[in-house]
Amino acid sequence: MKLEFSNILIYGLGLMGASLSLALKQKGTSASITGVVGSTKSKIKGQSLKSADQILTSEEFRSTQSWKDYDFIIFGVPVDLTVKLISELPTDFSGIITDLGSTKKKSFMRWRPIFHLDTIIFLLIRCVVQRNLDLNSQTRRYMKDDFVF
């Protein structure tokens, strides 16, 4: 099954989020990728690395964007923040949501009451982050065998 997305949001454009974004671009996705970062300093760094088509701070995102603008949302932030952010999603959100962590069961149990669902299908994105791993090697890891789009 091949999924086509037009607007991807990576909320948490750190090492894993930026690497994923770069890998998607290298794979030739036509989707627009927006990344959200926590500070202006991180935004400037992300822009210099061209790690997404558009990079916003969390404050900019809240004031200018709508969750419904995206058909695929990937969270690259801690679980507690992910759960908080998901509670802000409209209950009729129809896109796909996942995170970059390995906490799908914990996340599902916390998201379940928000969306009143018995089942959520999670897209598993396997990622291994090692100490001192640079952005280019993490991007190569996604490209090699861990992330197929």
Average pLDDT on 120-137 reads 45
Tell me the domains of the chain and their CATH numbers.
7-143 (3.40.50.720)
Tokens of 72: 């695929």
Mean pLDDT of the chain: 77
The Cα 146–Cα 114 span in angstroms is 30
- Least confidently predicted of 14-18, 31-35, 95-99, 138-142: 138-142
pTM of the model: 0.74
Do 75 and 98 meet the contact criterion of CB atoms below 8 Å apart? yes
pLDDT category of residue 137 using cuts at 50, 70 and 90 = low
How confident is the model over 57-98, as pLDDT tens digits?
999 999 998 999 999 999 999 888 888 888 888 888 888 888
Distance CA 106, CA 79 (A): 8
